Structure 1
Amino acid sequence: MELLEERIILNLKSRFFDMISTDDHQLKYESILEEMIMMIKQLMQAEEVTLYHFDERIQQLVVEASTNSDVKQNLVAVNFSNQDHRELGTCQKVYRKPFYCQAFEQYDLLIPVRNNGSIQSYLALKEEGQFFSKLTEKVLEKLSVEGGLFLQKAQKLAKLLVEEKRYKQLFRVTEKVHSTMNMKSVLGEIIDTLQEVYPTFTYILFLSQDYNDYEGLPIKEFNYTSENQTIMQSYVTGTIQVEVSATECKANLYAPLKGKQGVYGVLQVTSSNALVFPKNEVEFITVLANIAGGAIENAQLYEQSKRLIADLQLINETSHHLNSNLRLSETMIYMSEQIVKSLAAKEVGFIQFASDTSQNYVQQGSTDFFFTDEAKTYIDFFKERILKENDSLFIGDLKLPEDTNADSSFKSAMAVPMSQSNVLSGFVLVLHHEPYAFSFDTFKLFLSLIHHSTLAFTNTLLREKLEKLVVTDHLTKLYSRKYLDEQIQQSMQFDEGATFILIDIDNFKLVNDTYGHQIGDEVIIQVANVIKENIRGTDIGARWGGEELAIYLPRVPIDTGVIIAERLVQKVRESTNPTVTISCGVTCWKTEDNDTYQNLFKRADNALYQAKKTGKNKVVTQLC
């Protein structure tokens, strides 16, 4: 019998060695255990062999492997307490039936398996014949020792294989992170890795950034007002936190998604039917969480760098364009288009102040809204704020004052003053219907655009004022005769026709003699203002000389010109103080008449002479 027992032990050790010396890297710990108990069943001629393990996490006995398929379905031996385990673990012997512990009452033999000096596992055997009773305590104790050694080696081997697999998975995830800036792809890879390693766990990513594009992933918005203080503590401290619910028999692990510059969210890992996360699991989850945090940070820095480059390109292109001697209206139109396109604005207004800021007007190039009555409410509101605070305004949920008696249809607004040499010349106002439509980065870009553009605006205004001074009569603010002559000659080259009106203030010498030359100048100014109020922007009103004025109407037929002249005669008679009248000589030219610049003036002068000669305060026409 002694020889048989030695053969059993030698056979057992030999089979154990064959099992763990395999080069199969797909070998799993569960498979090793299955082979182990099947081998023990054969050597011991047993009906059933079941390996139980005391799980410290749940403080209960669980089935690790069994030759009985029915036993494998019942994973927890509920009648085995922690006290039972402590009592059995302190004894250094093999137990034969009957057992005092009900958990093993159906078995004939119980062999505690020592691992690293302590007992954590138990081999429970059912006898098929009378083989157990023939074995001595010595061989059963040897079986306990060898089984413990085998389990120890098998666990180390399985751990090495698991670690190798984890390192490969970490390498795969890291490779993915460094090969793409697609956050959805990276986070998806991390979740897939976790589910592959720990399929019984559930996962949620709480992200502190926008996650609308991550559909299909277990992602939620990080709520800074969350009642879950454990999540908040993990986010704020940047450390692993564990939350245990004994009543639900589950544990939550919260791993911060850390980068070098901050924390970008929290990974929640939920383990059901367990109250403890092993150290190696915590380490692996922590590494993956850090990879996720680094990936989020890198993606944000990448997007930020792209945005900054695009912003710099926009500012550079805009500055270059604005310094290319555009007209003011062209400058404003270009800026309006750039702001609408780059900032996703709905309305853009350029508000210019008069020299004393008491009056303001909307520059051409502003969107159509700013030329409506509704826009005045917004312009007045922001003008008052800017004059008072002398600073830029960034409003995400605009509410107009109650005394305006208007509801704010625009909720988002940005206003930036235009100042040059500490002189406030106006402001630019941007509006959007949706609240919080503009980000702070958008506001900073808007500030840069306006600050870089203000000098160009100012230079364009000064240049056009200077140009106007050169071609403008200083008294009447009408164009000079020189400018009128140039425009008529240019028009006769390119247009198909036009009307010319020559105007003279009747009895002007009498006005000077009666009221003085200063009143005479005021009368000329009054007549000039009537002219400016009754012609279009494309028409040219000019001072011909002395008390004589002129109007050139490009592409206007003579009958329309006569109507305009008659209206001027009436308006001057009704609105001047002291009251004066005017006489008008009207003529025209057409391309087919092959007319000349000198003849046009001569006919208008003749018509004016006839008006003066035949009673004044009238319009006389002379055709070519």
Structure 2
Amino acid sequence: MKVLEKQLIINLKSRFFDLIDTDSGLLSYEQFLQEMLFIVKGFIRADEVTLFNCNEWKHEWFVEASTNEKLKFDIEISPILCEEIRSIFSKVCVLHKPISLAGLENYDLVLQLRRGEQFHGYLAIKGITDCPCPDDLIVEVAKECSNFLHKAQVICNVVFEEKRYKQLFRVTEKFHSSMDMDAVLGEIIYTLKEVYPSFTYYLMLSQDNNSHGDLPIKDLEYDSENITAMQAYVTGTIQLEDSLLEKRSILYAPLKGKQGVYGVLQVIAPNTMTFPKNEVEFITLLANTAGSALENAQLYQQSRRLITDLQLINETSHRLNSNLRLTESINFMAGQIKESFGAEEIGFVLVSEDFEQLKVIKGSTEFFFADESEHYLHFIVERIKRERDSIFIGDLTIDCEPIRFRSLMAVPMVQTGLIIGFVVVLHHNPYRFTFETFKLLQALIHHSTLAFTNSMLREELERLVITDQLTKLHSRNYLNEKIHQSMKEDAYGAYILIDIDDFKKINDTYGHQVGDEVLVQVASILMDNIRDTDVAARWGGEELAIYLPKIQSDVALIIAERLVKKVREQTNPSVTISCGVSFWRKEYSNDTFTKLFKRADNALYIAKETGKNKVVVQENIDINE
């Protein structure tokens, strides 16, 4: 090479070197390439310099850069077979007037840019008809262009690697500053978008992922389409999957922590036969960092949830052991379960020892007092009777029955080894309850059963104290207490004193056992014909009494007459009753329980003396009596 030509090449190299200026911020490979083409254009005094490259998938040439800006947008480049032009350049260094190659026929020169095994494309030059440059100088220009592009790629890769690892450092800092699962997952996606804008990616999680907004998240499930993903999840190692048909390569990176694998990061690289090796290491580091962050966030959330669960159990146990009534306990528990679990229907059910009798406890939601609940309860009873264990079903199906509630949890109430009942929780959406929720419900019921049992025993004892053993009516003392309370709090009320006519004759004729049965029959008729707020009691012997709070005398008369009629018609052997009715009003401040009873007793005496089987009302209230 002549001295002048050597000097020209030195000048060209100097121009190229000037481009590599980190202070100018010119660190984009595309910018390097564009500036290089303009330098070459000026060096050889050409009209246009264009760099063509090959798409390995489509076997088509495309314009990678050009000094002619319109070329990229206005001129469609016809496809040229890769093998054909490669074959040509295996024999020549410079191709003059390539009129036989479609798409390159308008160019004067075509040069191959290659540095060893590294291929950079084909430099096509137009408008150098009078170019004084000999072929050996042109070849030297191509060589220096290849060297420059190699160095530019190295520099850009270094800058890109620095940027990526700064991103990795930033995301690591962000991961360690956040204990929120959604924030960690969102940061993974944000980093991938920044580093690989042309890639597609998904987070395939093994945990519930119903609350992560619009993040590209999939459930990690074992099926024919996810075999490679499952291999990455099970083995904890990077897996690669190349698809010639879909012209893409897929990387599966496990999101791995110290205690396990929490999912798989799926990264899809388009238009490539194999996943870029230089990207595998970075994605692996990102996935490992993300896996540790997910583990930390999950452990933190689990610890917070555990603390919340323990607080719930402690608060519930404390409240239930504060001598609440059974209904109050059930209402409190139902509220806790509804608030903590998002349940729609909550039932508390007692069962007999043989599971043949069920009783829904007051405080359960209204659904369990309706007919629709029967097939749910029957299903639960059969399962608990057979398996003697809790039930957790995410998508409930019951043969031949329309199912409104798909999520079901049922936990037996066990006392001293005996199942005394169960608690059932329902929601209409399938898979509404998590397994952690189920375990918490089990713990709640385990800690609450003793309190429920104590409440039931305490109330049963109270009932026995205030209840006549034979008739199951209230005791006389209880009746007296209720009347005294009503006369303090209410404006008026009525009192009915009842006597079974000729009861001694029943005993003498049929025996005392039949006499007791008659007493039970009459007591049952009384209970069936009064309100829940009314009080029926055994006054003594064959005398019974009813107190009707907030009832006027005319209504009390109707009730008493109805009782007389029903006792006569429904008892066997048939008996009759006589009733004495009295009432009180608040305006008579000197009225007392004793006077109220005395008036009813007088009315009953009149009824007995005037034919029995009737009602007499003591209407006159003498406040001085």
The normalised TM-score by structure 1 is 0.84
Q: Write the mapping of 1:157-556 to structure 2, written as runs, cut at 5 A.
A: 157-179=155-177, 190-205=188-203, 224-227=222-225, 229-231=227-229, 233-246=231-244, 250-256=247-253, 258-260=255-257, 261-272=260-271, 274-290=272-288, 300-301=298-299, 303-354=301-352, 357-402=355-400, 407-556=402-551
Report the residue type matching 2:86 in the other structure: D
Tell me the alpha carbon deviations over residues 211-259 of structure 1, each in whole angstroms, 9 at most, x when there is no partner: 66666655556564354654555555454444444466x2232333513
**Using a 3 Å threshold, how does the CA distance of structure 1 residues 518 and 223 change in structure 2: closer, same or farther?**
closer
**Using a 3 Å threshold, how does the CA distance of structure 1 residues 26 and 433 change in structure 2: closer, same or farther?**
same
**Using a 3 Å threshold, how does the CA distance of structure 1 residues 99 and 554 change in structure 2: closer, same or farther?**
closer
Tell me the alpha carbon deviations over residues 345-366 of structure 1, each in whole angstroms, 9 at most, x when there is no partner: 3322222234654332222112
Report the residue type matching 2:378 in the other structure: D
Residue 131 of structure 1 aligns to a residue whose secondary structure is coil
| Counterpart position of 2:80 | 78
Q: For residue 419 of structure 1, report the CA deviation from its aligned partner.
A: 1.8
Alpha-carbon distance in structure 1 between the residues aligned to 2:87 and 2:233: 39
The normalised TM-score by structure 2 is 0.83
- Contact 1:331-1:457 at 8 Å conserved across structures: yes
The equivalent position to 2:614 in structure 1, one of 610, 613, 618, is 618
- Contact 1:240-1:253 at 8 Å conserved across structures: no
| Counterpart position of 1:562 | 557
Alpha-carbon distance in structure 1 between the residues aligned to 2:118 and 2:398: 76
The equivalent position to 2:602 in structure 1, one of 600, 606, 624, is 606
Alpha-carbon distance in structure 2 between the residues aligned to 1:324 and 1:306: 27
Q: Write the mapping of 1:125-136 to structure 2, written as runs, cut at 5 A.
A: 127-129=128-130, 131-133=132-134
Alpha-carbon distance in structure 2 between the residues aligned to 1:599 and 1:154: 114
Residue 615 of structure 1 aligns to a residue whose secondary structure is coil
Residue 316 of structure 2 aligns to a residue whose secondary structure is helix
**Using a 3 Å threshold, how does the CA distance of structure 1 residues 609 and 165 change in structure 2: closer, same or farther?**
same
Q: For residue 164 of structure 1, report the CA deviation from its aligned partner.
A: 1.8
**Using a 3 Å threshold, how does the CA distance of structure 1 residues 60 and 466 change in structure 2: closer, same or farther?**
same
Q: For residue 460 of structure 1, report the CA deviation from its aligned partner.
A: 0.7
Alpha-carbon distance in structure 2 between the residues aligned to 1:192 and 1:398: 39
Tell me the alpha carbon deviations over residues 374-419 of structure 1, each in whole angstroms, 9 at most, x when there is no partner: 33343334333322332222334444444xxx53444333322222
Report the residue type matching 1:10 in the other structure: I
**Using a 3 Å threshold, how does the CA distance of structure 1 residues 479 and 44 change in structure 2: closer, same or farther?**
same
Tell me the alpha carbon deviations over residues 548-604 of structure 1, each in whole angstroms, 9 at most, x when there is no partner: 222222122222222222333333333334443332222121111220122122222
- Contact 2:251-2:275 at 8 Å conserved across structures: no
- Contact 2:89-2:112 at 8 Å conserved across structures: no
The alignment yields a C-alpha RMSD, in angstroms, of 3.9
- Contact 1:230-1:254 at 8 Å conserved across structures: no
Identity of matched residues, %: 54
Report the residue type matching 1:586 in the other structure: V
The equivalent position to 2:581 in structure 1, one of 583, 586, 589, is 586
Residue 474 of structure 2 aligns to a residue whose secondary structure is coil
Q: For residue 61 of structure 1, report the CA deviation from its aligned partner.
A: 7.3
The question of 1:114 aligning with 2:109 is answered: no
- Contact 2:496-2:600 at 8 Å conserved across structures: yes
Report the residue type matching 2:412 in the other structure: P
Tell me the alpha carbon deviations over residues 593-620 of structure 1, each in whole angstroms, 9 at most, x when there is no partner: 2201221222222222222223333322
- Contact 1:498-1:588 at 8 Å conserved across structures: yes
Alpha-carbon distance in structure 1 between the residues aligned to 2:321 and 2:88: 87
Residue 81 of structure 1 aligns to a residue whose secondary structure is helix
Residue 587 of structure 2 aligns to a residue whose secondary structure is helix
**Using a 3 Å threshold, how does the CA distance of structure 1 residues 276 and 24 change in structure 2: closer, same or farther?**
farther
Aligned length: 612
**Using a 3 Å threshold, how does the CA distance of structure 1 residues 132 and 539 change in structure 2: closer, same or farther?**
same
Q: Which runs of 5+ in 1 are unaligned?
A: none
- Contact 1:45-1:128 at 8 Å conserved across structures: no
